[in-house]
Structure 1
Amino acid sequence: VTLASKLTNPQQPQPRVTCSIPFQPVGDHCIFADYLISGSWEEVREVCVQMKGDLVGFQDANTLADLVQFLKQNDIDTASYWTGANDREAEGLWRWASDQSLVHMNTPLWGDLTTEGQEPMGGKDEDGAAILLEDYYFMHDLNCNESLPLICEKPAEPNTLNTSQEVEQHNRVQDPIQCSERYVDIGGRCLFVNSPSDGTWDEMKAFCELLNGRLAKVDDANLLGAIFDYLLAHDKTEQHIYIGGSDIMEEGKWVWLDGTSITMGTPFWGNEEMEGQEPMGYTIQNCLVLSNGDYFLFHDFGCDNEIGAICEEV
């Protein structure tokens, strides 16, 4: 393991949890990230274990969104980092090191750098997963002997989650919900996937309203993963699909129909042939779609294109 004499000490404003030094609060988690401590997957994991933690896991995919923002805000978004995801015990069966739970495959965690498909692509020679700088911190499988920096995670101090956070965590594992006709439970929301179809964004907005709904608000990374799984399982992958976000009112200010801000960056937004992370369409592409050419990650799109949509019951 390569150790530097000075460790980073990133600061996170308005912490939601209490963490013991040197861990810092990132969302609901306690994180220690240092691009100056590097080694193989096993070596850096041992460092994390000695710190009473483990390599970071994204059992809740929203943790990746929080972490990427944390890296950027603290100017340590300059390297790829090992995560706890691995298939060392059984090829193709990816688990988190910290609790041995299964890793959610495909969108929203895993990226791609080629036209060959979505990661993991390395086969038996690449048994550890890193968040890759070159792919905006989406996950990729790599050879475990590669030397990369670490991100460790440990549980927050007892009794530091507030009531709203506890309710939020409970809701992520809630029982199936009852949905009206046409709508089905996808990731804890009542959604109707109207695809393939052919309407503009405004037309699909009106269509959803006729069904006592609205264009879907996909504000949770786990929900995005559940939608991807549903589209794949039900053979609804042939076209882009409108959802309820736009920057129509103010260029570059992406909001949902209820006016709340859309989370930018990974793991929600995809990229356009490695030219940059979406949104890339500027003033000519003002409506939000799930892109069938990019594993149904977010892309901006022309609002007059006629495609399908996802409605959400309200």
Structure 2
Amino acid sequence: FNGRGFRYIPKPMSWARAEKNCQSMKANLASVHNMEEYHEIQRLIMSASHEYKKTWIGGSDAQEQNHWFWIDGTPFLYTNWCPGEPNNHGRRKQDCLQMNHGDHKCWDDVQCHRPKPSVCAKKVRFIY
């Protein structure tokens, strides 16, 4: 989709372990650049798990609070935060981005150690 391949990883892992797992496949946790990509990733999760599971994608503000970036280095321009997010709820250090949160299936900042499934993405090279 848009020159990238996405892969849903059902095994729950921390955000850091999920990113290491993606790297082992020469990929990164998925960055999301528009609503069409977001819906495509949601379709992938739904077809694999038969529900809109809360899932890690590649956003983090661990380096500096409220300065979100994508682990793959692409610009963090599109967002789909749930109302009131990101919020470091309960003054906890919530530095990692999960998708499919709440009724709107939007983004939420959560603690990075929580085990969740993940989506990896990498550029696809077409051979003609």
Q: TM-score, normalised by structure 1?
A: 0.35
Instruction: Give the letter for the 1:269 counterpart.
Output: W
Provide the aligned length of Structure 1 versus Structure 2. Answer: 121
> Contact 2:6/2:121 (CA < 8 Å) preserved in 1?
yes
What's the secondary structure of 1:291's corresponding residue? strand
Q: Does 1:212 align with 2:21?
A: no
Partner of 1:313 in structure 2?
Answer: 122
> Contact 2:29/2:56 (CA < 8 Å) preserved in 1?
yes
Instruction: Give the letter for the 1:192 counterpart.
Output: R
Change (3 A) 1:254 1:237: same
What's the secondary structure of 1:248's corresponding residue? coil
Q: Does 1:198 align with 2:12?
A: yes
Return the offset for 1:211. 1.0
Identical-residue share of aligned pairs (%): 26
> Contact 1:237/1:292 (CA < 8 Å) preserved in 2?
no
> Contact 2:9/2:119 (CA < 8 Å) preserved in 1?
yes
1:269 corresponds, among 81, 86, 92, to 81
> Contact 1:242/1:288 (CA < 8 Å) preserved in 2?
yes
Instruction: Let me know the Cα RMSD of the aligned residues.
Output: 2.2
Return the offset for 1:291. 2.6
Distance 2:78 2:45 in 1: 23
Runs of 4+ in 1 over 4 A off after TM superposition: none
Distance 1:226 1:238 in 2: 12
Instruction: Give the letter for the 2:38 counterpart.
Output: L
Partner of 1:291 in structure 2?
Answer: 100
Q: Looking at secondary structure, tell me which structure has more strand per residue.
A: 2
Instruction: Give the letter for the 2:106 counterpart.
Output: L
Return the offset for 1:236. 4.3
Change (3 A) 1:193 1:296: farther
- 1:206-233 CA deviation, whole Å, 9 max, x = no partner? 0001111111111222100122233233
Partner of 1:248 in structure 2?
Answer: 62
Instruction: Give the letter for the 2:54 counterpart.
Output: H
> Contact 1:240/1:290 (CA < 8 Å) preserved in 2?
yes
Unaligned runs of 5+ in 2: 124-128
RCO (CA 8 Å, sep 6+): is it higher in 1 or 2? Answer: 2
- 1:127-147 CA deviation, whole Å, 9 max, x = no partner? xxxxxxxxxxxxxxxxxxxxx
Change (3 A) 1:236 1:295: farther
Q: TM-score, normalised by structure 2?
A: 0.80
Distance 1:232 1:238 in 2: 6
Instruction: Give the letter for the 2:119 counterpart.
Output: I
Change (3 A) 1:292 1:235: farther
Instruction: Give the letter for the 1:218 counterpart.
Output: V
Distance 1:236 1:211 in 2: 24
Change (3 A) 1:221 1:297: same
- 1:180-206 CA deviation, whole Å, 9 max, x = no partner? xxxxxx4652011012x2210110010
> Contact 1:187/1:222 (CA < 8 Å) preserved in 2?
no
